[in-house]
Amino acid sequence: MSVLVDASTRVVVQGITGHQGTVHTAQMRAFGTHVVAGVTPGKAGSTVEGVPVFDAVRDAVERTGANASCIFVPAPFAKDALLEAVDAGIRLCVIVTEHIPFHDMLVMYRYARANGARIIGPNCPGIAAPGKAKVGIIPNVVFRPGRVGVISRSGTLTYEIVNGIKEHGLGQSTCIGLGGDPVVGTSFVDALPFFEADPETDLLVLVGEIGGTAEEDAAEYIQHHFSKPVVAYIAGRAAPPGKRMGHAGAIIARGRGTAATKVAALDRAGARVARFPYEVPQMVAEIVAARAPR
């Protein structure tokens, strides 16, 4: 078992004929993902990396049984791409695209939720379950199958920390990059129940950053509903007050969403909170060693 993706995941890549779509289709296939179709209007009948291309998502679903989408469509057209995927029956949509207008994402979020679909992203690196499937752009080389779950708002920190876990001789069950925009399709609180229920996840790494209250909300959930050990890292401890750092959602306002408030909330919830990214794999290894049979 894994979280949201597994060996049965069949991916359609929307925007497959663009540079990013082509490159990451090859990488997803190298990871072992079943990329079964691509969609670019007007390119039906062609192939990319051996994957057949269709004009519409519905055609791809009917012909290949695709059940997940990876969206590389440019921001002005991302809303239409998401609505098309949901209307075609896709129930997991990973949106890599950045700079999607705020109001477009509000429409996309509500439409997906109303139709039983889940969005990961936008502006995210995607999701990966080593040995099973990857939907997105997280580098293949950082992974190793294992029992550590990872949820992160930061793409680069995801890669660094996941690679550190591997270098400590451990591996990951599932890694989800949530994205750093103000409105995302899946939050920490949305993802936590999946990892709690996953028998292949023994502990969880949570990577957050300044801005918003997603980490405080996650800490509240962890304190009352999450039974597995949690190691956390919050980026932005040195951020000047009121400044945005990195993502569009990483802005502190009215004394909320600071690194200090997030760290304090996670501390109260019983998580071990690292001061620096390199400490996270060390803490994970210590927890694994402490829980190992003697």
So what's the pLDDT on residue 85? 98
User: Cα–chain-centroid distance for residue 224?
Assistant: 24
Same fold, 10-120 and 138-291: yes
Largest CA distance in the chain: 62
Rounded Cα distance, 205 and 225, in Å: 16
**Tens-digit pLDDT profile for residues 248-291:** 555 555 556 788 999 999 999 999 999 999 999 999 999 999 98
CATH for 10-120? Answer: 3.40.50.720
Rounded Cα distance, 122 and 101, in Å: 10
So what's the pLDDT on residue 192? 98
Cis, peptide link before residue 41, omega less than 30° from 0: no
Mean pLDDT (the chain, rounded):
94
Rounded Cα distance, 90 and 83, in Å: 10
Rounded Cα distance, 259 and 156, in Å: 18
How buried is 227 (Cβ within 10 angstroms: 0-12 exposed, 13-18 middle, 19+ buried)?
Answer: exposed
Catalytic residue among 34, 224, 225, 247: 247
Rounded Cα distance, 27 and 32, in Å: 9
Residues 134 and 140: beta-carbon distance below 8 Å: yes
So what's the pLDDT on residue 249? 53
Rounded Cα distance, 54 and 31, in Å: 23
- Residue of 180, 179, 150, 178 whose CA lies nearest to 165: 150
So what's the pLDDT on residue 250? 52
Q: Find the helix or strand (DSSP H, E) in which 177 lies.
A: strand 172-177
Rounded Cα distance, 75 and 137, in Å: 17
So what's the pLDDT on residue 253? 53
247 is an active site residue: yes
CATH for 138-291? Answer: 3.40.50.261
Q: Where are the domains of the chain?
A: 10-120, 138-291
Angle between helices 259-268 and 214-225 (to 10 degrees): 0
Non-local CB neighbours of 285 within 8 Å, separated by 6+ positions: 168, 169, 170
Strands (DSSP E) contained in 189-229 are: 203-209
pTM: 0.94
| Sign of the dihedral defined by the CA atoms of residues 225, 128, 185, 248, in that order | positive
**Tens-digit pLDDT profile for residues 85-99:** 999 999 999 999 999
Pairing status of strand 133-136 against strand 126-129:
antiparallel
So what's the pLDDT on residue 236? 82
Compute mean pLDDT per 10 residues along the chain, 294 residues long, and list them: 91 98 98 98 97 98 98 98 98 97 97 98 97 97 97 93 97 96 96 98 96 93 98 85 57 67 96 97 96 82
